Amino acid sequence: MTDLDGLGIAFKDAFGRSPEGCWAAPGRVNLIGEHTDYNDGFVLPFALAQTTRAAVARRDDGLLRVHSADMDDGVDGVGGVVELRVDDLAPGTSAGWATYPAAVLWTLREAGHPVGGADIHYTSTVPVGGGLSSSAALQVVTALALAELHGAAIARQELALLCQRSENVYVGAPVGVMDQTASACCTAGHALHLDVRGLTRRQVPLDLAAAGLTLLVADTRVKHAHSDGAYAKLRSGCEAAAAQLGLAALRDVPFDGLDAALEALPDERLRRLTRHVVTENRRVEEVVALLDAGRVGDIGPLLTAGHASLRDDFQVSCAELDLVAGTALDAGALGARMTGGGFGGSVVALVPEERAGAVTQAVRAALPQVRVFEAAPAQGAHRLG
């Protein structure tokens, strides 16, 4: 039995009929460019092989019914199915994990797309809470499936923007657009160089195997409680710094003008936030230049410098992330950094292939609960069948 067959069977078990189609959307690793997207800056993510998959069929009775093989948070109804009325969907209403697909459906309809009720069964291999964008994968697979089933022609970048809006407006989280764009727009074998301000995209070749390298992802399985509300505080701090500098966003601080900008900011916290954003944008540009030149191994120190900036200036790392990154470097990694929003989640480590086993072993010895896997640039969201 194929995975697609299993997805269809699980849908039938949940809803008593067969799906009309199945879709997949990946999680992502951000190679470099953290907390720069909501500052109109540059990011360089790539899609993971780990995906959220959805089997979907339309309904004509005004109901959205969703079921997950992976979620159980106490809001599920009979048989684990969450049932919501499409006409009752509104920003600020919560249905546990089902808030995310509900938000996507509401946002598509608000934007004028002719989508309606549906039965949706989900299953996912994207680690939840690992800083690998499991929520964006859930949003994008829902939006793509509903759009294609209802004949709504939505370009991929617009699809990502709608998913971002669903989280901003309906869920109430002030996230940037990187995660949704990566899930919707990445291509296999490439990292996605995204200029968030203009939403210009370029696929940058990232052939790790040809360079004799592997990228390890170490999910610490840690999420510290003090991360609650921290994202919004960081974003508002960046916006305050830009306003004090008379700029639209911190992206507008040139790298060679950083010292002058820091002198103009009286608040130490705003100086730290500004220094990270400006230097991180520079690191993205330097990594892209190295990848374009085929010098994949040379990006390692830039990854490590990015971790130091996130730890010291943005202060979004934690003891477990620092331990894993440091252990990976000591065991032979060329570079290592936390990836994602911070306060837990995952570390990425660029490692020579012959050192991958030793690095993995060292990281597991340092933090026994860690989950380590190899990552290579995979395909963005697509229909499975």
List, as one string, the DSSP characters of 91-137: TT--BTBTHHHHHHHHHHHHTT-----EEEEEEE-SPTTSSS-HHHH
Q: Is the dihedral angle over the CA atoms 226, 228, 229, 234 positive or is it negative?
A: positive
Which pTM value belongs to this model?
0.92
CATH code where residue 219 lies: 3.30.70.890
> Distance between CA 136 and CA 124 in Å, rounded?
12
Tens of pLDDT along 356-371? 999 999 999 999 999 9
Q: What is residue 100's predicted lDDT score, i.e. its pLDDT? A: 95
User: 371 lies in a domain?
Assistant: yes
Query: pLDDT tens, 112-152?
Result: 999 999 999 999 999 887 788 899 999 999 999 999 999 99
Same domain, 210 and 199: no
Asked if 30 and 43 touch (Cβ cutoff 8 Å), the reply is yes
* Residue 122, phi then psi, degrees to nearest 5: -115, 150
Q: Residue 170 domain-assigned?
A: yes
Give the residue from 203, 233, 253 where a domain finishes: 203
Residues 78 and 177 both lie in one domain: yes
pLDDT tens, position by position, 258-313: 999 999 999 999 999 999 999 999 999 999 999 999 999 999 999 999 999 999 99
Q: Are residues 107 and 175 in the same domain?
A: yes
146 and 258 housed in the same domain: no
Find the range with the poorest average confidence among 9-23, 203-217, 219-233, 357-371.
219-233
69 and 192 inside one domain: yes
Residue 32 resides in a domain = yes
Residues 166 and 227 grouped into a single domain: no
* pLDDT score recorded for residue 70: 83
Residue that terminates a domain, selected from 184, 203, 222 = 203
Which position has the higher pLDDT, 261 or 343?
261
- Asked if residue 331 is part of any domain, the answer here is yes
- Same-domain pairing of 190 and 338: no
The residue among 162, 183, 203 that closes a domain is 203
Q: How far is CA 361 from CA 81, 213, 221, 324, 356, in A?
A: 40, 17, 17, 11, 9
Q: What is the pLDDT of residue 132?
A: 87
Please check whether residue 260 lies inside any domain of the structure.
Answer: yes
DSSP 179-195: HHHHHHH--TTEEEEEE
Whether 8 and 72 map to the same domain: the answer is: yes
Judgement on whether residues 128 and 235 belong to the same structural domain of the protein: no
Q: Mean pLDDT across the chain, nearest whole number?
A: 94
Angstrom distance (rounded) from CA 383 to CA 153: 14
pLDDT digits (tens, 9 = 90+) for 159-211: 999 999 999 999 998 888 999 999 999 999 999 999 999 999 999 999 999 99
Is residue 93's pLDDT more than 60?
yes
Q: Is residue 383 part of a domain?
A: no
Do 162 and 147 have their domain in common? yes
252 is catalytic: no
In this structure, the answer to whether residues 216 and 360 fall within a common structural domain is yes
Q: How many domains does the chain have?
A: 2
Q: Which residues of 39-51 are buried (b: 16+ CB within 10 A; e: fewer)?
A: bbbbbbbbbbbbb
Question: Which CATH number covers residue 141?
Answer: 3.30.230.10
Host domain of residue 297:
206-375
- Checking if the pLDDT of 74 tops 60, the result is no
Catalytic residue among 37, 40, 76, 179: 179
Q: Is residue 82 located within the same domain as residue 172?
A: yes
Mean per-residue pLDDT, 322-332: 98
Whole-number CA gyration radius for the chain: 21
Classify residue 49: in a domain, yes or no. Answer: yes
